[in-house]
Amino acid sequence: METSTLWARGAAAAVMLLALAGCSSAPEPDLSPSPSTTASPSPAPSETAEPQVDPLPESFDCRLASGIFPPMDLAWGAHALQMELVGLDGAEIAMVAPEGMHATVTPSADAVDPEALVVAAVQRIEAAGYATPTWSLAPAVPWTFDDLCASMEAAFVEMTRDGAVTELGIQGDARLRVGIRTGFPVPSSVEAIDDAHPGLLLLVETVGVDIGADGG
């Protein structure tokens, strides 16, 4: 089971459903004129207000959408290590993928001493009462978890537009999986992510066929 693959589609759908529910529950205003007042003339075309566009949901958070938050069960030491290393600051680590009591840590290539970072984090979670996980270091990648989050948020914007992007997920190997609907071109903003961080993206068609240049 790919427990390290973290899907954001549910979070995006929940945000959109809440927005729709809020709109449908609002009562329609009574626009009929009052008997004691005279209806005001309609404004001239030049005075008509600009149409309002709903802003993007402000509640979208990459870490919460990826299931990264402090575990309530003290036995979940690997998840506590994930939270400790990338939950608040992901400037030197690219990903922490917990699986059972083991965590695979993918450092950023810019990290000076990733092993020391992990050892110190394990000591902190032990002091907090969490079970001690086992861990291993994966090969470093030239981006950080903060880069992953920024890329995920940029791709999420596309999910609210023309429907080209249908799913998002941060994978255990520190790549961002982006599902593109069959027949749609890859949005330019998603291509810009690959230009900024080559290798970070794993593009797939919504039917599951890999269309990324280096994906598999």
Nearest Cα neighbor of 167 from 3, 4, 26, 5 is 5
Q: Which residues of the chain have pLDDT under 50?
A: 1-56, 208-210, 213, 215-216
pTM for the predicted model, two decimal places: 0.68
The predicted-structure confidence for 77-101, as pLDDT tens digits, reads as follows: 999 999 999 998 888 999 999 999 9
Tell me the one-letter amino acid at 102: H
- Give 59-82 pLDDT, tens digit per residue: 578 898 899 999 999 999 999 999
HSE (CB half, 13 Å, CA atoms) of 125?
Answer: 27
Angstrom CA distances, 72 to 25, 68, 128, 162, stand at 35, 12, 12, 38
In this structure, how many other beta carbons lie within 10 angstroms of the beta carbon of residue 11? 21
% of the chain beyond a pLDDT of 90: 56
Which residue in this structure is represented by tokens 């992990």?
A: 118
